[in-house]
Amino acid sequence: MTNVFSRALLAGLYALFTASAGAASLNAQLFDQQGQPLANAVLTLKGGGAVPAGTLKADMDQRNQEFVPQVLAVRTGTQVYFPNSDDIRHQVYSFSQPKRFELRLYEKTPSEPVQFDKPGLVVLGCNIHDWMVGYIYVTDDPWFGVTDANGQLKLDHLPPGRYTATLWSPQSEDMQPVAGGDLEIAAGGLSKRFDLAVEARPEDPPSRPAPSAFGDAFHKAAH
């Protein structure tokens, strides 16, 4: 019995090792048309065969009267929780076509998450604090990520092969996703630069979005 268990364990470890050895990574960096790193941009990849495993759960917090993160990318079918880390109440809502919902005035964390079951862009607002705006990018593509403050993101555990990239940013002029081109990711991985045209940013942006931020973002995305 011990020998059987040992052989099964070794077989499992071998399968895990070979799967890891056959996985590659994409190191991406996104820039705007001025050559500046583009934060809070989404990159998704289609292709590569098998869909990665993972729990379809995520959080969109509220801290200091802002959505954190401002941009969240999830796979279609993900359940998103909306914890409230502020010491005041918020009322989160969306009018966006992929997911319309409202979480009435609450503190802490609602007991039930919201399931985002259709792909597309969801613009979030707070009915109490008009300047609050957040984005949930829901995708059918199996691999995706959001860039950090330096415009960088890394996607791991990719089967080597050919992929098609899609790019999106809340700063895009029409707020629509654009094609990022085809790329070949070898077993050794790939580092690649992507460029995305966005609206010009003011040299000294305000510390907090204008009260009309949600309405402006929603109408821009809807049209």
3-state helix, strand, coil in the chain (%, to 5): 15, 45, 45
- pLDDT, position 6: 42
Residue 120's closest CA among 105, 95, 99?
A: 99
CATH architecture of 24-222: Sandwich (2.60)
Tens of pLDDT along 23-58?
899 999 999 999 999 999 999 999 977 677 777 999
**Which pLDDT tens digit goes with each residue over 124-183?**
999 999 899 999 999 999 999 999 999 999 999 999 999 999 999 999 988 999 999 999
Domain regions of the chain by residue span: 24-222
Task: Quote the pLDDT of residue 217.
Answer: 67
Q: Residue 214 has what pLDDT? A: 63
pLDDT digits (tens, 9 = 90+) for 169-215: 999 988 999 999 999 999 999 999 999 999 876 655 566 666 666 66
